[in-house]
């Protein structure tokens, strides 16, 4: 594939707002997980962004108000992202920039609150509840397009936890086909009862802060996050040089035990980049902290890379941001490439003795030129991206 | 201008039960009787998966399987794109009720609640390892999906299955997100003309809104359906394919539009 440049990026998660805070948390090995205190749910730990409740959307966009779009708006106003998009809009034209964003649950928290406030007699939802601009899946892309003053095609991609990683592939198709010259990719997912209780029903919530790749790992900690990248054909910045997607064709919520889908996505990403496994200096794992995912991914790492390539999950810091985890990982990969930092997995007391991949336990300073990021989702959808340092 | 060849098509909606019947009705050869249609149970779904899936997934898989068969492509053998705004409103409603009562969520309902449930069940049912994606564009879902599918096919130089479907929400969500009827359509799009290709599609995204009249189908009998169900906005295209004529029309996409030119093969 022809490389695309991430000419601007932004991220907000439980470990901070923007690249500098995120890098400092990674360097200082300061995770953002706290005991869950959300909506009366006290199971496990969460990665919560503290500023969301107090943030207000611009008055003209107040109809989009919900936790998910507030989180998105905070990210837009971080690291000069909105200004960079405004400059690109002036250069390329508002209709030539697409908005392709990922989310798994959009603004569902608003509907959860509306269901609690239904009229006891009629069952009607409260008058002020705006389903279309909060919970409906397109809400996020619609809001961001309006907030950035763009007029290109827009869509919300929702492939569960692969959503925001998948947006890089979907936007690449639009740019390479000439539909647009640039795209806003990434996405947002925010805390809600649906995912906190849903993952609990699958017995996948860790009672302690999630510890991906640890021998005693016991599940995920859900985090909330939003992040975006401006993807262009040319410019300065980290480049997307390869992407691969696949399906497991196996189970809705359990990964393929032989990792066949993950292996296919990783190999497709390498092939798309025209690279061999030895060209990759670090892999940011999907690494959720569940027994099944991490074991499957270790198997995939061994099959594709062997036992040498350094890898780790950074979800011990941020929690699992579900549909937003791909853009969080993409921004972290950018920090790895720029600053030569390979983060060692957080919260690991003992590495799973059954694992064969080179899982980093400590932060390592090593310059890397190319890194891979994995994101896998319910429905058995897999997505791998390869990023390279700017020229 | 992007291009793709349509080599498989399927439809399931009120009074439109499969392409053989739907084509004849949309071409004006048979009378239209808008009765609710129960989508045929997709034979690719294993019996235990049939029990686990709701109306939205069965509708999507039914048209996806039919379009694949018409194109002579083994189901799951090519990449796919699924598109829906509502996804499975029944599952969503059940979980929201449970959450409002602070009761535990059903694990099966939780994994069925993902927006990409149909894409997941499609790959499971067909044992597919192919890339798949799933998107929403609210009322413009069909336009966004068509644009994305044709771009993907052109860039990857691969056929792609596009499946757009929309099932009404239960109350109280229906009062905020009304949807006319259950409607699903699937297309197999190929970057090159094959033996059985029906038509060539040329697409361009343009700034400037289209009007409802530009995307409305010719047939007055199914205009309300096309206006009230996001997936049924494909009816203008389906009608054009049924008539086997050339056509230029536009699908609304917020303040922009997808201009579509159809040339029969």
- Kindly list the structural domains of chain B, giving each domain's residue range(s) and its CATH number in brackets, ordered by start: 2-196 (3.40.47.10)
- Kind and range of the H or E element at A168? helix A163-176
Mean pLDDT score across all residues of chain A: 97
Q: Tell me what the mean pLDDT of segment A302-326 comes to.
A: 98
CA B85 to chain centre: 11
Closest CA to B134 of B205, B180, B85, B65: B85
Query: In chain A, count of helices (H) and strands (E)?
Result: 12, 17
* CA torsion through residues A174, A180, A184, A187, sign: negative
Cβ contact A136–B2 (<8 Å)? no
Span between the terminal Cα atoms of chain A, in Å: 17
- Residues of A labelled as active-site residues: 161, 286, 320
Both structure tokens of B162: 């596009």
What's the total number of domains in chain A?
A: 1
**Which domain covers residue A332, as residue numbers?**
4-388
**ipTM value:** 0.98
Mutant choice from B87, B136, B169 vs A, greatest count of A C-beta within 10 A:
B136
- Closest CA of chain A from B65, distance in Å: 15
Cβ contact B255–A246 (<8 Å)? no
User: What is the percent of chain A where pLDDT is above 90?
Assistant: 98
Q: Which residue has the higher pLDDT, A99 or B213?
A: A99
- d(CA B37, CA A229) in angstroms, rounded, equals 43
pLDDT at A205: 98
Cβ contact A249–B253 (<8 Å)? no
Q: Tell me what the mean pLDDT of segment A43-54 comes to.
A: 96
pLDDT at A101: 98
- List CB contacts (< 8 A) between A157 and chain B: 133-135
In A, minimum Cα distance to B144 occurs at A155
Model confidence at A391, pLDDT cuts 50, 70, 90, reads low
Determine how β-strand B2-13 pairs with β-strand B16-17. Answer: antiparallel
Determine how β-strand B160-166 pairs with β-strand B80-83. Answer: parallel
Model confidence at A94, pLDDT cuts 50, 70, 90, reads very high
- Do residues A118 and A124 lie in contact, with contact meaning Cβ atoms separated by under 8 Å? yes
Residue pointed to by tokens 């090593």: A366
Cβ contact B119–A381 (<8 Å)? yes
Q: Tell me what the mean pLDDT of segment A21-25 comes to.
A: 98
User: Could you give the C-alpha distances from A162 to A75, A120, B116, B218, in angstroms and in order?
Assistant: 19, 38, 10, 40
Helix runs in chain B, H state only = 19-26, 47-52, 55-70, 89-100, 107-112, 117-126, 141-156, 173-176, 212-215, 223-228, 235-243
Tally of CA atoms within 13 A in the half-sphere of B255 that contains its CB: 10
pLDDT at B42: 84
Closest CA to B187 of B248, B240, B146: B146
* DSSP one-letter string for A220-284: B-EE-EEEEEEEESSSSS-EEEEEEEEE--S-SSS--TT-HHHHHHHHHHHHHHT--GGG--EEE
Q: Tell me what the mean pLDDT of segment A141-152 comes to.
A: 98
- Closest CA of chain A from B107, distance in Å: 5
pLDDT at B1: 85
Backbone φ, ψ for residue B39 (5° rounding): -60, 140
For residue B172, say if its preceding peptide bond is cis, omega within 30 degrees of 0. Answer: yes
Let me know if B103 is exposed, middle or buried by CB neighbors in 10 A (0-12, 13-18, 19+): exposed
CATH number at residue A341: 3.40.47.10
Tens of pLDDT along chain B (265 residues) come to 899 999 999 999 999 999 999 999 999 999 999 998 887 778 898 888 888 889 999 999 999 999 999 999 999 999 999 999 999 999 999 999 999 999 999 999 999 999 999 999 999 999 999 999 999 999 999 999 999 999 999 999 999 999 999 999 999 999 999 999 999 999 999 999 988 899 999 999 999 998 888 899 999 999 999 999 999 999 999 999 999 999 999 999 999 999 999 999 9
Instruction: Please tell me whether the overall predicted TM-score, pTM, comes out greater than 0.80 for this model.
Output: yes
Cβ contact A138–B134 (<8 Å)? no
- List CB contacts (< 8 A) between A380 and chain B: 120, 123-124
- Closest CA of chain B from A361, distance in Å: 32
- Closest CA of chain B from A247, distance in Å: 4
- Do residues A170 and A101 lie in contact, with contact meaning Cβ atoms separated by under 8 Å? no
Closest CA to B100 of A383, A40, A207: A40
Q: Which residue has the higher pLDDT, A119 or B195?
A: A119
In B, minimum Cα distance to A264 occurs at B129
Beta-carbon contacts of residue B167 (< 8 Å; ≥ 6 apart): B55, B56, B59, B86, B88, B89, B90, B179, B182
- d(CA B116, CA B98) in angstroms, rounded, equals 22
Q: Tell me what the mean pLDDT of segment A298-320 comes to.
A: 98
- List CB contacts (< 8 A) between B117 and chain A: 252, 379
- List CB contacts (< 8 A) between A123 and chain B: 171-172
Q: Tell me what the mean pLDDT of segment A258-286 comes to.
A: 98
């Amino acid at each position: 594939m022809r490389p695309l440049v991430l000419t601007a990026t932004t991220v907000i998660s439980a470990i901070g707002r923007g690249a500098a805070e995120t890098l400092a948390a990674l360097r200082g090995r300061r995770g953002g997980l706290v005991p869950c205190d959300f909506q009366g749910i006290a199971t496990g730990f969460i990665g919560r962004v503290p500023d969301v409740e107090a943030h207000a959307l611009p008055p003209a966009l107040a109809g989009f108000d919900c936790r998910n779009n507030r989180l998105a708006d905070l990210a837009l106003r971080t690291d000069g992202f909105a200004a960079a998009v405004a400059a690109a809009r002036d250069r390329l034209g508002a209709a030539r920039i697409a908005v392709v964003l990922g989310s798994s649950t959009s603004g569902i928290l608003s509907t959860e609150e509306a269901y609690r406030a239904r009229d006891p007699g009629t069952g009607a939802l409260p008058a002020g509840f705006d389903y279309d601009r909060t919970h409906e899946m397109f809400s996020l892309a619609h809001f961001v397009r309006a907030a950035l003053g763009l007029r290109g095609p827009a869509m919300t991609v929702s492939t569960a936890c692969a959503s925001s990683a998948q947006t890089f592939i979907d936007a690449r198709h639009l740019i390479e086909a000439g539909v647009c010259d640039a795209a806003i990719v990434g996405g947002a997912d925010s805390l809600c009862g649906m995912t906190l209780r849903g993952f609990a029903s699958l017995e996948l919530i860790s009672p302690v802060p999630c510890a991906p790749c640890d021998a005693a790992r016991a599940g995920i900690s859900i985090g909330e996050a939003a992040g975006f990248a401006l993807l262009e054909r040319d410019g300065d910045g980290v480049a997307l040089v390869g992407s691969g997607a696949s399906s497991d064709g196996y189970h809705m919520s359990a990964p393929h035990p032989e990792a066949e889908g993950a292996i296919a996505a990783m190999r497709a990403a390498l092939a798309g980049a025209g690279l061999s496994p030895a060209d990759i200096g670090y892999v940011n794992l999907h690494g959720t902290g569940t027994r099944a995912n991490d074991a499957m991914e270790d198997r995939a790492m061994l099959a594709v890379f062997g036992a040498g390539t350094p890898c780790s999950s950074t979800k011990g810091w941020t929690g699992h941001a579900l549909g937003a985890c791909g853009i969080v990982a993409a921004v972290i990969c950018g920090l790895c490439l720029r600053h030569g930092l390979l983060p060692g997995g957080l919260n690991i007391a003992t590495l799973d003795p059954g694992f064969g991949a080179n899982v980093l336990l400590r932060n390592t300073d090593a310059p890397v030129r190319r890194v891979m990021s994995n994101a896998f989702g319910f429905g058995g959808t897999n997505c791998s991206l390869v990023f390279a340092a700017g020229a | 201008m992007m291009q793709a060849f349509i080599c498989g098509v399927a439809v399931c909606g009120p009074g439109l039960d499969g392409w053989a019947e739907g084509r004849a009705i949309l071409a004006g050869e048979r009378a239209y009787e808008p009765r609710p249609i129960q989508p045929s149970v997709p034979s690719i779904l294993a019996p235990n998966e049939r029990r686990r899936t709701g109306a939205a997934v069965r509708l999507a898989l039914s048209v996806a399987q039919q379009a694949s068969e018409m194109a002579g492509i083994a189901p799951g053998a090519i990449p796919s794109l699924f598109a829906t705004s509502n996804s499975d409103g029944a599952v969503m409603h059940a979980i929201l009720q449970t959450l409002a009562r602070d009761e535990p969520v059903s694990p099966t309902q939780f994994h069925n609640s993902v927006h990409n449930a149909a894409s997941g069940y499609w790959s499971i049912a067909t044992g597919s390892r192919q890339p798949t994606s799933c998107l929403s564009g609210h009322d413009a879902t069909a336009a966004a999906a068509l644009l994305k599918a044709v771009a993907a096919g052109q860039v990857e130089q691969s056929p792609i299955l596009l499946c757009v479907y929309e099932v009404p929400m239960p109350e109280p969500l229906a009062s905020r997100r009304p949807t006319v009827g259950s409607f699903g359509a699937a297309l197999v799009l190929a970057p090159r003309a094959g033996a059985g290709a029906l038509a060539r599609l040329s697409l361009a995204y343009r700034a400037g809104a289209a009007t409802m009249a530009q995307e409305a189908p010719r047939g007055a009998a199914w205009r309300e359906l096309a206006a009230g169900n996001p997936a049924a906005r494909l009816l203008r295209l389906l009608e054009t394919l049924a008539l086997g004529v050339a056509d230029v029309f536009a699908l609304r996409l917020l303040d922009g539009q997808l201009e579509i030119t159809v040339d029969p093969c």
